[in-house]
Structure 1
Amino acid sequence: MTDLVVWGAVLGGVAAAGLLLVVSRLMRLRRADLSVRVLPYIRDLPQSGPVRPVNDQTGVVRGVFGPALRSAADAVEKVLGGSTSVRRRLERADIDKTVHEFRSDQVMWGLAAFGAAAAVSFLQAWRSPGNTVSLVVLTLVAFACGVILCDNHLSSLARKREQLILLEFPVVAELLALAVAAGESPVSALDRVVRRTNGALTSDLSKVLAEIRTGTPVGRAFDGLAARTGLPLVSRFAEGIAVAVERGTPLADVLHAQASDVREAGRRELIETGARKEVMMMVPVVFLVLPVTVVFAFWPGLIGLRLVAP
């Protein structure tokens, strides 16, 4: 009797979920989106850049569960907040998403963790029923962990990109200094460096170059780069270029000095990291190299004593 009740509950839940899915999709298809009604008439017009679709539902999951995902994303935004921090980290990680799209990704991560925890909880309830409350709490905690893991993943992507920018900065600064010293203007030197290099810092500089070409003053464009970046070194670099362009300071000397400062900061950070991890560096020596050395030193003597002893 218990098995019949459980199977009936499972089949009823699946049927209810399917009915809810069909009803939500019918409500969605009842009225066409603005993009469907307007884009066919303006598709052939010239555009200044790549056009992002009005509808942000990319993929089958977003297409089917779009309204539910938006509602869940709004709920996560109300609970967590911090949209300014999320927007700043998206810019630092160079991810072309809005805060609402990132909240939708967080909901999807949470639902994936919720589904895995629900499957484990269902098997556990099938084997030993009676722990329903604890299993429900486990699924809710799994959902929260998925949401938090998505946020931590964004932070890790931003940190990795900043590390790449620090590695690329001395080379890019030296190239800019050489181009300016050769007689090119700052904009021409920036264009040459952007066309000849590839990387995270080059992507940021290409955005600055695009702003300059659309009419933004050079100083204001680099000030925007200084405001967007999360690295003090890059911020000082952008501010130095802006000041040099506005006041007529020799730009090549400024770039050479900033490149040498970044290299010196990298050396200091490497020395500080080695000093902090000095104890950890002794672990393989003490627990691996030293025991092997002792064994090689004393093992032949032990074998000799056994052969000599009567």
Structure 2
Amino acid sequence: MTPAAWGALLGAVLCCGLLLVGSRVLALRRPRLETRVLPYIRDLPQVASRAAPTTSAAHGVFGPVLAAAGEAVERVLGGAASVRRRLQRAGVDVTVSEFRVQQVVWGLVAFALVAAYSVLKALTHPGGAVAPVLLCLISFAVGVLARDQHLTSQVKQRERRILAEFPAVAELLALAVAAGESPVAALDRVVRRSGGELSADLAAVLAEVRTGEPVAAAFDRMATTTGLPLVARFAQGIAVAVERGTPLADVLHAQAADVREAGRRELIEVAARREVAMMVPVVFLVLPVTVLFAFWPGVVGLSLTAP
């Protein structure tokens, strides 16, 4: 084909794509049925403004494809229950299907980067096409797994922050309860006066209690969803204290003391591991330099006095 024919073909493809995008944007800008009917059948403060047409068009065009790819990743990897639990522990407000779509997006980004590098390399150094294709597929798999590892790191970071703020929150609850407030009032005071990951979890428990759920049941659910044994024991202790009427302030003080003791033990263990790591520069860097400074003058003196 001549260059003019190639240009006409590419122009036709571009026009078709622009027509498809334009028709989709026009369809998305058309008000939906619920938007027109809901203001007349129930009291709404204001109908939320629609998203940008470009974003909505992109979601409408690529959303079904990404959703199908996410379902394929779910069938291959599995473990939806584990992913759902880790999403809850990380505090990420997405569903498992949305997380699978994020994994597909990460994989596509890695695939695009490696594909661009392979194309540039092929333009300068032509070679076989099997290795670049395999490298692109491997990069897609690495991107998918990298999103999963990033979720695990998010869980660890959030749990580390929870353990850091747990003693202070427990002491505040104990002081509020010892001052004569009820568990719900003390929980409300602590949630309003503090901020953090543990405070967000306690705010969720407080919201469940305000909707009519018993305090013990709400804390039992918190104990089952958290991944930290210390926080689980804390929630179970509050639930048992509320059910049986035991002194709640003493339970909270004991829980805070246990967390501080666990943090002290962890700090000692980390220091012991770092002590071994600190021996590496001492043995391989400081000691050879010291030996060199000690023996080098003698070696120089022997070389100068030798006949």
- Residue in 1 that maps onto 2:153: 156
- Residue 186 (1) aligns with residue 183 (2): yes
CA distance in 2, matches of 1:13, 1:78: 37
Instruction: Choose 287-296 or 15-24, whichever is displaced more.
Output: 15-24
RMSD across aligned positions (CA): 3.6
Q: Does residue 270 of the first structure (1) align with residue 267 of the second (2)? A: yes
Taking structure 2 as the reference length, what is the TM-score of the superposition? 0.83
Instruction: Specify every segment of 5 or more residues in structure 1 that has no aligned partner in the other structure, as ranges.
Output: none
**How do residues 77-156 of structure 1 correspond to structure 2 at under 5 angstroms?**
77-156=74-153
CA distance in 2, matches of 1:60, 1:74: 22
Quick one: which amino acid aligns to residue 94 of structure 1? G
Answer whether contact 1:62 1:69 (CA < 8 A) is retained.
no
Q: Distance in 2 between matches of 1:14 and 1:91?
A: 49
For 2:9 and 2:100, the matched residues in 1 are separated by: 31
Separation in 2, partners of 1:135, 1:37: 49
Give the aligned partner of residue 37 of structure 1: 33
Deviation of the 1:309 alpha carbon = 9.3
Equivalence map 1:3-82=2 (5 Å): 19=16, 23=20, 26=23, 36-42=32-38, 45=44, 61-62=58-59, 64-82=61-79
Deviation at 1:222, TM superposition (A): 0.6
Q: Is residue 2:279 matched to residue 1:282?
A: yes
Paired with 1:78 and 1:114, the residues of 2 have a C-alpha distance of 20
Looking at structure 2, the residues matched to 68 and 17 of structure 1 have their Cα atoms a distance apart, in angstroms, of 21
Unaligned runs of at least 5 residues, structure 2: none
* Residue among 220, 224, 230 paired with 1:223: 220
Q: Deviations over 1:203-251 (max 9, x none)?
A: 1011111111111110111111111111111111111101100110111
* TM-score, scaled to structure 1: 0.82
Contact kept, 8 Å, 1:179 with 1:189, in 2: the verdict is yes
**More off after superposition, 295-304 vs 162-171:** 295-304
Structure 1 distance, partners of 2:172, 2:87, is 28
Deviation at 1:128, TM superposition (A): 3.8
* Within-5 A mapping of 1:171-210: 171-210=168-207
Q: Secondary structure at the match of 1:79?
A: helix
Distance 1:16 1:284, change over 3 A: farther
Output the CA distance in 2 between the equivalents of 1:164 and 1:302: 56
Q: Provide the aligned length of Structure 1 versus Structure 2.
A: 300
Which residue type is aligned with residue 161 of structure 2? L
Partner of 2:245: 248
The verdict on how the C-alpha distance between 1:260 and 1:86 changes in structure 2, with shifts beyond 3 A counting, is: same
Contact 2:171-2:252 within 8 A present in 1 as well? yes
> Given the superposition, is the C-alpha separation of residues 31 and 191 from structure 1 closer, same or farther in structure 2, using an over 3 Å criterion?
closer
**3-state secondary structure, aligned to 2:32:** helix
Seen in structure 2, the aligned counterparts of structure 1 residues 88 and 17 have a Cα distance that, compared at 3 Å, is farther
